[in-house]
Amino acid sequence: MLKFISYMASLAFFTLILLIVGVTYEVAKINISIPDYRQLADYAPPVTTRLFAGDGQVMMEYAAEKRLFVPEEKIPDIIKKAFIAAEDKHFYSHAGLDYLGILRAVIGNLRKIGTGKRPAGASTITQQVAKNFLLSSELSYTRKIKEAILARRINKAFTKEHVLELYLNEIYLGNRAYGVAAAAINYFGKALAELTLEEVAYLAALPKGPNNYNPVTHYDAAIQRRNWVLSRMLEDGYITEEEAKTAMEKPLKVVKRKSGFLKDTEYYSEEVRRTISNNFGDEALYQGGLIVRTTVDPRLQSMATQAFRKGLLAYDRRHGWYGATANIQIDENYKENLQKAELPKGAEPSWQKAVVIKVTKDKAEIETAEGKEGKILMSTLGWARHAEKGQNMGPVPTSAEQVLQKGDVIYVEAIKDKKGEYELRQIPRVEGGMAVMDPHTGKVLALVGGFSFAKSQFNRATQAYRQTGSSFKPFVYLTALELGYSPTDLILDAPFVLDQGVGMPKWKPVNYSKKFYGLMTLRRGVELSKNLMTVRLAQDIGMDKIVEMSRRVGVNDNLPPYLSASLGAADTRVINMVGAYCVIVNGGKKVPPYMIERIQDRTGKTIYRHEQTPCPECAADKWENQEAPDFNVIREQVVDSLSAYQMTSILEGVAVRGTGAKLNGLHRHLAGKTGTTNETKDAWFVGFSPDLVVGVYVGFDEPESLGRYETGAQAALPIFYDFMEMALKDVPDTSFRIPEGIKLVRVNPQSGKPSGLGDTTYIVEALKPDFDFNNRQRVIGEDKAVIGGPKQSDGSVQIGGEY
């Protein structure tokens, strides 16, 4: 017996030795594969990039993980206490592992064997930091051993405050929120310091399972878990019994937060996002926590969007009703089917989805998706003529039955002050773009890339290249003014024919009106947008000089050197045209458009600044009552200021008595130029006040005619009009700035000659100081009528070939 006992003891001892060796070996092997915890000393998690408007409002956020990093000392104590009470009550006393908690978890898990329930953990906050930062979420004892070893090491290497900072900024709390700061905003729309006790307790309830305690889908469970956290906080002495009771009785109210923050800035934000991605990379954009200051003016952006949408809707109504895009059966399931029915994206916020229940001659009875009943009266459907190919329309409807059918799913808008009455609405097919700039700085103050970002993310203000039509003409005439031509010079308005070479048809440009008016002043050629005068002037000065002007002002760096380009046959972007018009109004200085003022990294260090003008005084460490730095921003002078003002004056004439004369209704100093391309496929208006430049383009994405009468003055100018009416409402009217050297002289608008004492018809012309009326007035085109060839029977002039 003694021998047996001795044998068993030896066996047990040997087994124990083997077990110790095996465990030591496994631990050593695990130890070798454990990540380096020291990387936590320089914690730099993926952080949300935020875009700010010019007035400081947050306009958009971009992030792979929605996180806002907050230093430990900036996190309110009540939040720390709530998470410690819920997750690790002995956090400040243990050395990374809570052995009592581990024992309780082991006993509890033994009881769960065979039940199919998930084993409970006993992870401390330090262990969760080790797992979240350095390990995977794999359920294994190997991972738990690694977690325990790392927790001990982390506890020795870092302060409790640093560990808590790591935890509270990294923990996933659902709703795409990483960290307590992002969760506070996503759930409650508040900063950490603004949270109430019951809101703090709810956030502390989330680490164990955010989806299980989602207040939208699991409200009762969320309340129960929140109240459990409050009871733990009471038990640990963090709150009083009265505070706990009051908080437990409060409902749980969360906010529905949009992905964007500033209304109508989607196109602007996307353009900024694309710029950052191209220059700094997606990792910096989505993980770098960049602080991006943009130039957008929220007030002007809202006005631009409103005016642009109004203009496209007005165009759309002039071209009829396309018909309903969906139809459902009016049966016992129609309410459910109405909810499922899809309509084109991009509806205005005030529009509602509805179904036609019944149609008679005088009205259509409808029911909205919200269950409201109403009617569309025939008296509001006069515009809804059947839209046909080529922007043609059918007859004016005389019955609601000619427009709508039972079961049609449509958009409607309630008529103000008329209960139960609605108007029919549809998403426009036509598109366009709009940009607003400060001509003195180059700041892009507003940008509209289309009718709706939900409908199409393609930005037609910055990405679409379209023919400019007559909106390019000012740069032809500006070239002439720089070369010494005068607004009073005469140009022949008569038929023009160009021989393009063997086998090529003759080029015969015409005026929009198809009429000719003989000799007219250079000014009137712009004001009335005369194609034939423009072509003759371009031929006289040379297309090479116009090409150079186009490059200088930024319209097009590669303008084709053909006469047709002088009429706007080449294409460019809205943003380029607006930037080029800035040169005209600001006295000839080039101010390239820009949208990003400054970019800072997560530490606040500036990594990009638009303004590069040297300013040593701007780098002062602190303000000590010194005067603000006074320095001149350097702008490249690309056009002489006198010629620029002459063109400003001429374009003001466009707004007073030319193709833009509708602007007289605003009673302000405004200037600009209409533009219409061949077959009216593109409509433009680019115009300005002394301190704002606005460009508008309207057209289809797949070029087709807008309609016979849809010129720049009809389709684009009203958008400019509506915008300027809002933007300048409370701004005092000022005249355009006149540079030193300009002479203002009264002249006859028809002849360009000085007006006599008795003349009742005259304009004030802007002339350069060296201009002398006694010298011969330049006449362009008339000499070619004699020298270039005989006049034809219809009065046309042969240029370079047979007519």
Residue in 671, 650, 667, 659 with CA at minimum distance from that of residue 712: 659
Q: How far apart are CA 517 and CA 124, in angstroms?
A: 90
| Helical packing angle, 717-727 and 298-317, nearest 10° | 150
Interatomic CA distance for residues 249 and 227, integer angstroms: 9
- Among 472, 471, 466, 470, smallest CA distance to 701 is for 466
Count CB-CB contacts under 10 A for residue 71.
9
Per-position DSSP letters for 32-87, written without gaps between them: HHS--GGGGGG----B-EEEE-TTS-EEEEE-SSEE----GGGS-HHHHHHHHHHH
d(CA 121, CA 163): 19
**Structure letter (DSSP) for residue 737:** P
Q: Cα(328)–Cα(331) distance, rounded to whole angstroms?
A: 9
Least Cα distance to 408 among 466, 477, 316, 334 occurs for: 334
Q: Does the active-site annotation cover 87?
A: yes
Distance CA 798, CA 803 (A): 6
Radius of gyration of the chain (CA): 37
| SS3 category, 498 | strand
CA 765 to chain centre: 41
DSSP 96: S
Structure tokens at 682: 């593109």
Query: Which member of 87, 147, 482, 652 is catalytic?
Result: 87
User: How far is residue 604's CA from residue 624's CA, in Å, rounded to a whole number?
Assistant: 22
Active site residue: 452, 470, 471, 566, which one? 470
Q: Which amino acid is it at 771?
A: F
Q: Which amino acid is at 648?
A: T
* Residue closest to 656 by CA, chosen among 780, 536, 494, 528: 528
Element (H, E) at 433: strand 431-437
What one-character-per-residue DSSP string does 371-427 give?
S-EEEEEGGG-TT-PBEEGGGEE-PPPSSGGGT--TTEEEEEEEPTTSTTBEEEE--
Which phi and psi angles does 139 have, rounded to 5°? -90, 95
Residue 146 is which amino acid?
A: K
**What letter represents residue 777's amino acid?**
Q
Integer Cα distance of 509 and 525 in angstroms: 15
d(CA 108, CA 105): 5
Question: Rounded CA gap, 278 and 522, in Å?
Answer: 45
Q: Return the HEC string of 135-167.
A: CCCCCCHHHHHHHHHHHHHHHHHCCHHHHHHHH
| Cα distance from N-terminal residue to C-terminal residue, the chain | 134
Q: How far from 619 is each of 614, 615, 623, CA to CA, in Å?
A: 10, 8, 10
Strand 779-780 versus strand 490-493 pairing type: parallel
The separation between CA 530 and the C-alpha centre of its own chain, rounded to angstroms, equals: 37
- Which residues lie closer than 8 Å to 434 by C-beta, 6 or more apart? 304, 307, 308, 446, 447, 448, 461, 574, 694, 695, 696, 697, 719, 723
Active site annotation includes 470: yes
In what helix (H) or strand (E) does residue 765 lie, and over which residues does it extend? Answer: strand 763-767
Beta bridge partners of 410: 354
**Which residues are known catalytic residues?**
87, 470
